[in-house]
Structure 1
Amino acid sequence: AHAGSALAELAMQLAGRWPPLTPGLHTLAFEAGRVELLLGLGDARELLRELVLQADALYLDGFAPQRNPELWDDWLLRSLSRLAAPGASAATWSIHRPMRRALAALGFEVALAPGFAGKPEMTVARFAPRHTPQRPAGREPLAPGARRTVIVGAGLAGAACALALSRQGVDCTVVEALPGPAQASSGNPAGLFHGTVNADDGLHARFNRAAALATQACLAELAVPHQRGLLRLETRLPLARMAGVPGYVEALSADEASALAGTGLAHPAWYYPGGGAIEPAAYARAMLAASGAALRLATPIAALREVPQGWQLLDAAGALVEEAPLVVLAGGHGQLPLLGGPLVDLADELTLQRGQLTHLTEAPWCPPLPVAGGGYVIADGGGGVWCGATAQDGDLDPALREADQADNLQRYAALAGLPGPQGTPLSIPLAGRVAWRHEAPGD
């Protein structure tokens, strides 16, 4: 539609990043993250409840007030005023008198100005409330003036923080205790990413969908190699009750899913065309490179000390390593001792979970795309697979265990449609990896 306009190139960029039509908030990044569009798909009144921001400018374009009164009533305008920063501008093509009265009652200075696109007049306003309400403490920034941060940990979490903060204009230094990035829990050779489907589309489903779509976009932007597409078996719902969303997830019969998986699957499946599998370390390295963060490797941090200017990071001898007004701890369970003072209770609420995955160097079934459901299988690109994984809370054993490998091989056999454990090479040498993750209450 915009091919002949002066904005054809920008329109193509927007169309290329347009998300699947799933409800919720979608962040679209342009100009290497320097420009972001937060796109809300769904009921505007519901979405307003989810926004946490202070807007400098508001534009009201909810069609005609007479035809779409829900986007012009007092409740919606009051919601917008709660999101407006003092001095924020507001504008709309409409000169609807009740709307102007409502804006004035909410603290806007309202006036009429020459219109555009054939409109003789339009409404303009500036937010000048007599009283500025105090924002909830949970919505106040921790370090609002910080332009520099030190991030402890160079795994996926630390790399993602560095990329996000650098795109907000924050200068980042990443400190890592190990010789290279992503060598601890983020050092697994392969990992899955995909959204979830839930009948009521609750908070968990929406969060996972947003994370999966953001990962998909970031992998494309950073040109990170990865396996595209993922199947997740559905063992509870019949195919007739499975409804997909174009561009996000498709409901496949057992026969359709089997054709994609290259083996006979016993259940229908959800197919996520934008999901897949990645090497976490490669992803972490790409995010660190894109962030431009300074990277200090083989630099363990033994203690944090709060000072008037922010925080000091100390080594085991008490010597100063780094200092910054903002510190992000992103290094997993090894950093729990750093959570002193009032944060000790937070550390006590976290559950450490051990996971073991198994490597089959010669697999009887090597799927062309990752398959999950009661376990997972990811091809290693050389005729073998990674499969797993176990989950044991509070288990600190770093050694590979035969019992866990047998459990992973049973999962592999079930996914592959093999006759049972006897159909898998149980005599293979113990091979795989152990890693840990934290779980918060309610996870």
Structure 2
Amino acid sequence: MAEPVEWLADGTPYSPRFADRYRSEAGAGLHQARGVFLQGCGLPGAWAHQPVWTVLETGFGLGLNFLVTWAAWRADPARPQQLHFVSVEAFPASADDLLRNVAGQAELLPLAQELAEQYWGLRPGVHRLRLDAGRVQLTLAIGDARAMLRALVCTADAVYLDGFSPARNPDIWDLPTLKALVRCCRRGTQLATWTIARSVRDALTQCGFRHERVAGVPPKRDRLQAVYNPPWTPKRRDPALQDTGPAPTPSRAVVLGGGLAGATVALQLARRGWQVQVLDAAPHPAAGASGLPAGLFTPNDSVDDTVLSQLSRSGARCTLALLRQLLVEGEDYAACGVLARQLGEERAAGSAPADGWSRPADAQQLQAAALPLDSAARWHGMGGWVRPARLVAALLRHPGITWRGNAAVATLAAIDNDWALRDAQGATLASAPLVVVAAGIACQKLLGLGMPLQAIRGQLSFGPRPPQALLPPWPVNGHGHFIPHAQHDGGPIWVTGASFVRDDAADDIRPAEQGFNLQRLGQLLPDAARQLKGGPAPQAWAGVRCASRDRLPLAGPVDPIERPGLWVHTAMGARGLTFALLTAELLVARLHHEPLSLPWRLAAALDPRRG
């Protein structure tokens, strides 16, 4: 539930919880955001011509500092290529209050409207909102400031201290919280705040900041500016970054694998200036497991909020943001939501709380699926279907990416500062200082990974959608899934499946699995199965997925000490469309020491070297 905000007669937002104003009266809040925080951190001048700039804020509030920083970035011709804004907030307000706070501000309102479209589902944890065509990344850490600062993987260039006053909200200004903040700073990080409270100045000094009192922005007489420059040598404290080596300067990179796992990494590298060559043994992209007619992306919910649930929520948000950038809705994908039906023993497992991510299905949704009104089902609003091959093609369309098919790599060898990729005859197909292996089950043989991988065969059934059939308006998931309104080159189709055969790397079509898919559809959606039974015989597609022992992806360095420059991205299992875009972003962010979209414990759960 959103934090209540009261609006005073002069239009100023007020927090009943802290008995304090979010900002000064109308107009003054905007001047404070610019005069205290932007000017106090030397912006926009300090970020000129930088590839990436990161701002860390304590107290997101109603987002005014973020919007002002975003607007300054957009207006600056010397702006960095990418702006990261990381903010902690224990009690997020509603999107409506964010919009009301900038009503009448013509420069900020369009930005606030774009922000409001993604500002929902902010459960405790870390959320990445991708704005301005992905060039502005807002990372919201929802929860206690001290705990969230310790969970973040982030090195800030500038820090905004902007909580409610130290007298009203002392925890966000105290020494333990500022010590947690320092782990996100580098020598030279600029800091600004509107308060000059003695306790805050003393704590900043103890943490290694050198500060000065300067003229304030009315109605405040003074403010603080500071720089992190301790007399001791700061130590790297980010477990997800400390052993990956220095951030490289973009040059040449090779990605091995032309499916979804490879294409997502290639795009993330190309967007940062790498010249990327994608190699694949097949003659065309998405020839393997990414070539299915249509697949689902959807968050997973659980009562105990498992690692899988947290990753799937972050992944669904990431996937949807990129789909909206690259594809045509209705033709290539649909963000239509997914109905998740619980069958058998799952009924007794309980349910996660209802919020923007998930809620119990209502009577209208159950009726649309022709299910009994007492069916156990939940509605996932941030889910839908996508044509993976279309997505892969769009990802590889970046001008910094080149494709080479019919290039079967048998071995990798370190030569000087490059990795050479060779075929079975020993001929070098490509070489580069950075190689990301995204070749599915073949990663095991090529890399000798400590984490064993498992081949999982899957066969789908699909056919033309009968025009007279009354099918659910959106996909249904459960034991298997049903996509009733996907698109194919021949027109609208339905898709169901998939089989799940462990330790089977064959992709032949098997009649027994075709029958299995249709039988399971009859259990999931009996009415839909009956309507499709008299139609044309369904077609089939089969592919081989790759999974790890713990069913989580592998995304990170193989061995940064012994094999620097060699990374792996694989083991998406049956959730490639939910995971791959997120984990590719994570991998490349780790490589470049950028803020991560996940807390470090989740990032560590995806490390290829985990036990």
Query: If the length of structure 2 is used for normalisation, what is the TM-score?
Result: 0.66
1:24-35 equivalences in 2 (<5 Å): 24-35=125-136
Say whether 1:295 aligns with 2:395.
no
* 1:37 alignment partner, SS class: strand
Q: Secondary structure at the match of 1:95?
A: coil
Check whether the contact 1:402–1:430 (CA below 8 A) recurs between aligned residues: no
Q: Is the 8 A contact 2:444 2:453 kept in 1?
A: no
Give, as a single letter, the amino acid of the residue that structure 2 aligns with 1:345.
G
Cα distance, 1:16 vs structure 2 = 3.3
1:384/1:82 Cα in 2 relative to 1: closer, same or farther (>3 Å)? closer
Give the Cα–Cα distance (whole angstroms) in 1 for the partners of residues 540 and 225 of structure 2. 64
Q: Does 1:403 align with 2:512?
A: yes
Q: Which residue of 2 aligns with 1:88?
A: 189
Distance in 2 between the 1:311 and 1:44 partners?
43
Quick one: which of 314, 318, 321 aligns to 2:422? 314
The structural deviation recorded for 1:426 is 10
Q: Greater CA deviation, 281-290 or 259-268?
A: 259-268
Tell me the SS of whatever aligns to 1:332: coil
Amino acid at match of 2:514: Q
| CA shift for structure 1 position 52 | 0.9
Rounded to whole Å, the distance in 1 between the matches of 2:316 and 2:359 is 15
Contact 1:239/1:251 (CA < 8 Å) preserved in 2? no
Q: Which range moved further: 273-282 or 286-295?
A: 286-295
Alignment-derived partner of residue 108 in structure 1: 209
1:352 matched to 2:444? The reply is no
Question: Which secondary structure does the structure 2 equivalent of 1:283 belong to?
Answer: helix
- Equivalent residue of 2:450, what SS? helix
The aligned amino acid for 1:4 is G
**TM-score relative to the length of structure 1:** 0.89
Alpha carbons of 1:394 and 1:423: their partners in 2 closer, same or farther (altered >3 Å)?
same
Q: Which residue of 2 aligns with 1:203?
A: 307
Deviation at 1:366, TM superposition (A): 3.8
Other structure's SS at 2:199 match: helix
The match for 1:139 among 215, 218, 241 is: 241
Aligned partners of 1:397, 1:427: CA distance in 2, in Å? Answer: 29
Report the secondary structure of 2:140's partner residue: strand
The residue type equivalent to 1:23 in the other structure is: P
- What's the counterpart of residue 155 of structure 2? 54
What are the ranges of 5 or more consecutive residues in structure 2 without an aligned counterpart?
1-99, 552-611
Cα distance change of structure 1 residues 65 and 237 upon mapping to structure 2, 3 Å threshold: farther
* Residues in 2 aligned to 1:192 and 1:256: alpha-carbon distance in whole angstroms: 22
Mean Cα deviation higher: 288-297 or 405-414: 288-297
The answer on whether the counterparts of 1:177 and 1:299 sit within 8 Å (CA) in structure 2 is yes
CA contact (8 A) 1:314 1:322 kept: yes
1:282 to 374, 383, 390: 390
Could you tell me how far 1:211 is from its partner in structure 2?
0.4
Q: Report the more deviating stretch, 229-238 or 365-374.
A: 229-238
Give the structure 2 partner of residue 4 of structure 1. Answer: 104
The letter of the residue matching 2:394 is A
* Unpaired runs of at least 5, structure 1: none
User: Distance between the aligned counterparts of 2:210 and 2:418, measured in 1?
Assistant: 39
- Aligned residue in 1 for 2:28: none
Q: How has the CA–CA distance of structure 1 residues 133 and 383 changed in structure 2, closer, same or farther, with 3 Å as cutoff?
A: closer
Could you tell me which residue of structure 2 aligns to residue 233 of structure 1? 341
The residue that corresponds to 2:319 in the other structure is 215
> What pairs with 1:427-442 in structure 2 (closer than 5 Å)?
431-442=539-550
- Asked whether the 8 Å contact 1:387–1:408 carries over to 2, the reply is yes
Q: Equivalences for 1:137-286 in 2 at 5 Å?
A: 138-140=240-242, 141-142=244-245, 144-148=247-251, 149-224=253-328, 225-227=332-334, 228-235=336-343, 236-237=346-347, 243-246=353-356, 248-253=357-362, 255-261=363-369, 267-286=375-394
Q: CA deviation at 1:35?
A: 2.5
**Residues 401 and 430 in structure 1, CA contact (< 8 A), matched pair in contact too:** no
Tell me, in whole angstroms, the C-alpha distance in 2 between the residues paired with 1:14 and 1:419.
39
Q: 1:64 aligns to what? A: 165
Cα distance in 1, alignment partners of residues 399 and 121 from structure 2: 27
Matched, 1:74 2:175: yes
User: In structure 2, what is the Cα distance between the partners aligned to 1:202 and 1:56?
Assistant: 33
Structure 1 residue 394 displacement after superposition: 0.7
Size of the aligned set, in residue pairs, is 435
Q: How many Å apart are 1:296 and its aligned residue?
A: 2.1
- Bigger mean CA deviation after superposition, 366-375 or 29-38: 29-38
| 1:179 match: secondary structure | coil
**RMSD, matched Cα:** 2.8
Assess, with a 3 A threshold, how the Cα gap between structure 1 residues 344 and 24 changes in structure 2: closer, same or farther.
closer
Give the C-alpha shift of residue 291 in structure 1: 6.7
> Are the equivalent residues in 1 in contact too, given 2:327–2:391 (CA < 8 A)?
no
Question: How far does residue 365 in structure 1 lie from its aligned partner after superposition?
Answer: 6.4
Letter in 2 for 1:315: D
Aligned pair in 2 of structure 1 residues 162, 197: CA closer, same or farther (>3 Å)? same
The answer to which of 144-153 and 315-324 deviates more is 315-324
User: For residues 143 and 123 of structure 1, do their structure 2 counterparts lie closer, same or farther at Cα, with a shift above 3 Å needed?
Assistant: closer
Q: Is the 8 A contact 2:157 2:188 kept in 1?
A: yes
CA positional deviation for 1:261: 2.5
Pair 1:367-2:436 in alignment? no
Cα shift at 1:19:
3.9
Taking structure 1 as reference, are residues 265 and 283 closer, same or farther at Cα in structure 2, changes over 3 Å only?
Answer: farther
Contact 1:174 1:295 in 2 (8 A): yes
Farther-moved stretch of structure 1 (12-21 vs 65-74): 12-21
Q: Would the alpha carbon gap of residues 276 and 241 (structure 1) be closer, same or farther in structure 2, given more than 3 Å must change?
A: closer
For residues 116-147 of structure 1, what are the alpha-carbon distances to aligned partners after superposition, in whole Å with 9 as ceiling and x for unaligned?
Answer: 24211112211112122244664233562141
Q: Which residue of 2 aligns with 1:326?
A: 434
Q: Distance in 1 between matches of 2:282 and 2:184?
A: 43
Give the conservation status (yes or no) of the 8 Å contact 1:366–1:383.
Answer: no
- The residue that corresponds to 2:494 in the other structure is 385
Distance 1:185 1:394 in 2: 15
What secondary structure sits across from 2:127 in the alignment?
strand
Kept in 1, the 8 Å contact 2:340–2:476? The answer is yes
Compute the displacement of 1:61 (Å).
Answer: 0.8
Tell me the alpha carbon deviations over residues 25-51 of structure 1, each in whole angstroms, 9 at most, x when there is no partner. Answer: 222233433332222233333322321
CA contact (8 A) 1:353 1:393 kept: yes
